[in-house]
Structure 1
Amino acid sequence: MKNLSLLVLSVLFLTACNASNQAPLETTYQEVKPQSNNISIPKDASQLLMVTTANWSSKEGILQRYEKKNNHWEKVGENINIILGRNGLGWGKGLHHTPNDAKYIKKEGDGKAPAGLFSLGNGFGYSQTNFEMNFPYATYKRTDHCVDDSKSVWYNQIIDSKIIKKDYKSFEYMKLSNNLYKYGITVNHNPNQIAQAGSCIFIHIKNKSGKGTAGCTAMREDQIITVLKWLKEEEKPLLLQLPQEEMVKINLN
């Protein structure tokens, strides 16, 4: 297991995310098919988290793990009911090209989860795990902040506020008073720190409020532990997150 000490800044990426506990979602989504012209899965990636929602405004979805074997993508495990942005999805900044005619674009503080293809940064939590991992993992304390103030030089970065010169007014605590960030995964959204394009996007534990998140993707604690144990750094895992109308354009094989 790789347990990483916090760097002065961990370029992790991502609009803080209080999640919710929804009733199980009916899994009526179709299988992925024809190739999208704005999304191409890198050939060196061998693990994929695929999140599909019913439409752009949905705050619920299905996550399915995939693993590439002999150049063929295969499902891994059962799908997971997740919740995401309280205002649905908007095209984010990642490994894809945003369509020129895109109607829904992710912005800072809009309550939307980012749509598109993204690499994953690292796992994180409040303490070292008691399970084996093959994926980078960082432990965070109360003074570790994810900055969502787009005027700051630390925008969309996780930093130790005791070490750096603080120039921001808005941020997310990486160690909360609840267990939502007890375990999580950073999503490399907006890695170039484009102002107002969205920040502090994670995969983390969902809560029981019944509401969508501020932009993250959330699931039960046992489910995120399963994902963390499965991820392998050398497999270059990705997150593909789209509404049904866009997901059907994707051809994995």
Structure 2
Amino acid sequence: MFNTTAIAFTGLALASGCALSCAGEPVFANIPAVGSSKQVILVVSPDRKSVTAELSAWEKSGGKWRQALPAMPANIGREGLGKEREGDGKSPIGVYRLTEAFGTVPKPLGVRMPYRTTNDTDYWVSDSASSQ
């Protein structure tokens, strides 16, 4: 079982005055949905309309969270962030458990999650009315 969680926040969610951490704990540490996750990918945007964000990766070891990778710029939905609704151009805000990884290259070294190499027979559908 892989315990990796992705979290998308807006700057509004961080209105407590804490950036990524308060009192030594990352802002996501007490979110119940993070549960027993050992890794977190955190995406923070300045506001809901922004199309850019900051992405950071965190790992829990010995009961403590530490930043595993330096924060980096990220692109999000063409309409920013919002509630989950197919086709609105927004990346969904929330906490999501990641169960597998995928990419166009063979499984990279060090990836322990189930991994799928995509090819020309794979496709993504953005039409919520589609039967696919």
Instruction: Name whichever of 117-126 and 81-90 sits farther off.
Output: 117-126
Q: Structure 1 residue 30 and structure 2 residue 19: aligned? A: yes
Q: Select the residue among 20, 44, 48 that pairs with 2:40.
A: 48
Instruction: Name whichever of 78-87 and 121-130 sits farther off.
Output: 121-130
> Larger % of strand: which?
2
Amino acid in structure 2 at the alignment position of 1:45: S
Alignment match, 2:68 = 76
Larger radius of gyration: 1
Structure 1 segments unaligned to the other structure (5+ residues): 1-28, 91-104, 155-253
Q: Select the residue among 84, 91, 97 that pairs with 1:119.
A: 97
CA shift in 2, pair 1:123/1:110, >3 Å: same
Amino acid in structure 1 at the alignment position of 2:100: N
Q: Select the residue among 99, 111, 121 that pairs with 1:143.
A: 121
Percent identical among aligned pairs is 29
What SS does the aligned partner of 1:41 have? helix
CA shift in 2, pair 1:41/1:68, >3 Å: farther
- Given the two structures, how large is their TM-score scaled by the length of structure 1? 0.39
RMSD: 2.5
Amino acid in structure 2 at the alignment position of 1:108: E
Q: Is the Cα contact below 8 Å between 2:99 and 2:113 reproduced in 1?
A: no
Q: Give the Å deviation of 1:126.
A: 2.4
* Distance (Å, rounded) in 1 between the aligned partners of 2:108 and 2:68: 23
Structure 2 segments unaligned to the other structure (5+ residues): 1-17
* Relative contact order higher in (CA < 8 Å, ≥ 6 apart): 1
- Count of residues in Structure 1 that have an aligned counterpart in Structure 2: 110
* Distance (Å, rounded) in 2 between the aligned partners of 1:65 and 1:109: 27
